C-alpha cells in the first residue's frame, strides 16, 4: 500500500511538472510613435491590434501566457535603441513589433540581433532591413520601399508620368524610397529631373513645392509619410500643383492620411498598400473589433500587420515551446507558412521578408464614396511573387548563392 501511495504521489508530481513545463511565458513590446507624425498610422492603433492578436491566440492556446507593453520611440534612433536595450536586458521582453521610422528600426534591429531576441517590423519601410542590413532575428512584415516603388512608381510611368521630381524626408526611410523609386522610374524609361530633401515632421513645404513646380516634372514623388505627406498635399492644393498639370505620387499613403486629408483633397492619388480595411468581409469584421478601442478611426496596413505578425510570432513560440532563443523562434517563423484572416497565406523568406499580395489603388472622388472610410478604387492586384524584391537581388548575408 505504501508503495502504491508513493507511486501515485510521484505520478502526481510528474504530471504537475509536465503541466508547468508546458506553460510558456512571452513578453511583447510595441515600440511605436505615440506623439508625432506617425501616430495615426501606428501608435495606439498598433497596440490595439497587438492586443487583439494576443486575445485570439491565447483563446486557443491557454498554456501560452503573454504580457504586452508599449513605448514611444519619438522618431529618434538613440531613444529607440535605448528602449530596446532596456526592454531586453531589464524588462525581459522577448519580441518588439511595429516601429514606424526606418532609422529607428535599423537601430533596433541591430540591438535585437546582439541580444538574440526577435524584431517584427510592421511600421518601417526601408528595404535594407531584408537587404544588406538583414539578420537572423528580424522579420519585415507589411511592406517596404521596393514594393512601394514597383507598385506606384511603375504604374505612374506606364500611364505617362515619365518625368519625376522628389520631395524626400531626409532620413533612412525617405532616402531608401527615393532610391528605389528612382531606379524603377529609370528602368521603365522615365527620368528624374531633380529632388529636394526636407526635415522630418515639416510644417512648411513652400520652398520645396516651389522647386518642384519649377522643375516642370509631370510627377512629384512624395518620398515621405504620415504627417509629412498630409502637409505636402495640403500645401500642394494651395499652390495649385494639380490644377497646374502636375500630379502627386503618394509613394506611401495610408488610410489614416486619406481620412485626414478628405476625399476632396486626396482624390486621384495613386498608391500601393498591402491591406485595406474595406477590401472584403474579413477585413471589415476585424476593423469593427478594432474600432471598439479606436472609435471613428480606420485601421492602416501597419496596424493590420502588427496583428498578423504578432499572431505568427506566437504560433512559432508555441511550436518551439519557448521564447528564449530569438534565432530559433525566427527560424520557426520562416519554416511555418503564414496564414491569417487579414493577409491570407504567405511565407517568411530566408532574408526575413514576409510576402503577400499588394494592391494598387486610386483614391475615390467624393461622389464615388458610398460610406465613411470608402476610400479606394482597386486598379490592380500585384501577386506576392512580384510585389517584393527578388531574394537574390537584396544582398542579404543570410541568403546563399
Q: Does the residue 363 lie in any domain?
A: no
Residue 152 sits in the same domain as residue 229 = yes
CB atoms inside a 10 Å sphere around CB 44: 17
Residue 174 sits in the same domain as residue 105 = no
Q: Does the residue 2 lie in any domain?
A: no
Q: Does the residue 235 lie in any domain?
A: yes
pLDDT value of position 205:
96
Number of domains in the chain: 2
Tens-level pLDDT at each residue, the chain (401 residues): 445 445 454 445 444 444 444 799 999 999 999 999 999 999 999 999 999 999 999 999 999 999 999 999 999 999 999 999 999 999 999 999 999 999 999 999 999 999 999 999 999 999 999 999 999 999 999 999 999 999 999 999 999 999 999 999 999 999 999 999 999 999 999 999 999 999 999 989 999 999 999 999 999 999 999 999 999 999 999 999 988 999 999 999 999 999 999 999 999 999 999 999 999 999 999 999 999 999 999 999 999 999 999 999 999 999 999 999 999 999 999 999 999 999 999 999 999 999 999 999 999 999 999 999 999 999 999 999 999 999 999 999 999 85
Q: Does the residue 7 lie in any domain?
A: no
CATH of the domain at 150: 3.40.50.2300
Residue 168 sits in the same domain as residue 123 = no
| 67: exposed, middle or buried (Cβ count in 10 Å: 0-12, 13-18, 19+) | middle
Q: Does the residue 12 lie in any domain?
A: no
pLDDT value of position 8:
52
Residue 138 sits in the same domain as residue 109 = yes
Residue 72 to residue 33: CA distance in whole angstroms: 5
Residue 362 to residue 378: CA distance in whole angstroms: 7
Cell of 185: 522610374
For the chain, the first-to-last Cα distance in angstroms comes to: 67
Residue 130 sits in the same domain as residue 190 = no
Q: Does the residue 36 lie in any domain?
A: yes
Show which of 334, 356, 378 is a domain's final residue: 356
Residue 118 sits in the same domain as residue 162 = no
Phi-psi region of 208 (alpha: psi -120 to 50; beta: other; left: phi over 0): alpha
Residue 139 sits in the same domain as residue 285 = yes
Q: Does the residue 10 lie in any domain?
A: no
Show which of 253, 273, 293 is a domain's final residue: 273
Cell of 275: 491591406
Q: Does the residue 365 lie in any domain?
A: no
Q: How would you list the strands of the sheet with 344-348, edge to edge?
A: 338-340, 344-348, 354-355
The backbone torsions φ and ψ at residue 317, rounded to the nearest 5 degrees and listed phi first, read -60, -45
Residue 152 sits in the same domain as residue 134 = no
Structural domain harbouring 241: 146-273
Show which of 238, 254, 273 is a domain's final residue: 273
Q: Global pTM?
A: 0.93
**Which of 331, 322, 320, 325 shows the shortest CA–CA distance to 115?**
325
Contacts of 335 (CB under 8 A, 6+ apart): none
Amino acid at each position: 500500500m505504501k508503495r502504491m501511495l508513493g507511486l501515485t504521489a510521484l505520478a502526481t508530481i510528474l504530471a504537475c511538472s509536465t503541466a508547468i513545463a508546458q506553460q510558456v511565458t512571452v513578453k511583447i513590446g510595441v515600440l511605436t510613435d505615440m506623439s508625432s507624425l506617425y501616430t495615426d498610422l501606428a501608435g495606439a492603433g498598433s497596440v490595439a491590434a497587438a492586443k487583439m492578436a494576443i486575445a485570439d491566440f491565447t483563446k486557443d492556446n491557454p498554456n501560452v501566457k503573454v504580457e504586452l507593453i508599449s513605448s514611444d520611440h519619438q522618431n529618434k534612433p538613440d531613444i529607440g535603441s535605448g528602449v530596446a536595450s532596456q526592454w531586453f536586458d531589464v524588462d525581459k521582453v522577448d519580441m518588439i513589433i511595429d516601429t514606424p521610422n526606418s532609422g529607428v528600426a535599423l537601430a533596433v534591429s541591430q540591438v535585437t540581433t546582439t541580444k538574440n531576441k526577435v524584431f517584427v517590423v510592421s511600421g518601417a519601410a526601408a528595404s535594407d532591413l531584408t537587404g544588406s542590413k538583414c539578420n537572423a532575428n528580424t522579420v519585415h512584415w507589411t511592406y517596404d520601399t521596393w514594393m512601394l516603388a514597383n507598385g506606384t512608381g511603375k504604374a505612374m510611368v506606364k500611364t505617362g508620368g515619365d518625368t519625376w521630381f522628389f520631395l524626400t524626408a531626409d532620413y533612412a526611410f525617405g532616402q531608401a524610397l527615393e532610391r528605389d523609386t528612382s531606379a524603377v522610374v529609370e528602368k521603365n524609361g522615365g527620368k528624374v529631373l531633380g529632388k529636394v530633401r526636407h526635415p522630418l515632421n515639416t510644417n512648411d513645404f513652400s520652398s520645396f513645392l516651389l522647386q518642384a513646380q519649377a522643375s516642370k516634372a509631370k510627377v512629384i514623388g512624395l518620398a515621405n509619410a504620415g504627417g509629412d505627406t498630409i502637409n505636402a498635399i495640403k500645401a500642394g492644393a494651395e499652390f495649385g500643383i494639380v490644377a497646374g498639370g502636375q500630379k502627386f505620387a503618394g509613394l506611401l499613403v495610408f488610410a489614416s492620411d486619406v481620412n485626414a486629408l478628405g476625399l476632396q483633397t486626396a482624390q486621384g492619388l495613386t498608391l500601393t498598400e498591402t491591406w485595406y480595411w474595406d477590401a472584403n468581409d474579413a477585413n471589415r469584421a476585424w476593423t469593427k473589433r478594432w474600432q471598439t478601442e479606436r472609435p471613428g478611426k480606420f485601421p492602416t496596413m501597419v496596424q493590420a500587420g502588427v496583428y498578423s505578425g504578432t499572431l505568427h510570432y506566437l504560433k512559432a513560440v508555441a511550436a518551439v515551446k519557448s521564447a528564449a532563443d530569438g534565432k530559433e523562434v525566427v527560424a520557426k517563423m520562416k519554416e511555418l507558412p503564414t496564414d491569417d484572416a487579414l493577409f491570407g497565406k504567405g511565407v517568411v523568406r530566408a532574408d526575413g521578408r514576409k510576402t503577400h499580395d499588394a494592391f494598387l489603388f486610386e483614391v475615390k472622388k467624393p461622389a464615388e464614396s458610398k460610406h465613411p472610410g470608402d476610400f479606394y478604387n482597386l486598379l490592380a492586384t500585384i501577386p506576392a511573387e512580384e510585389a517584393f524584391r527578388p531574394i537574390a537581388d537584396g544582398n542579404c548575408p543570410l541568403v546563399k548563392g
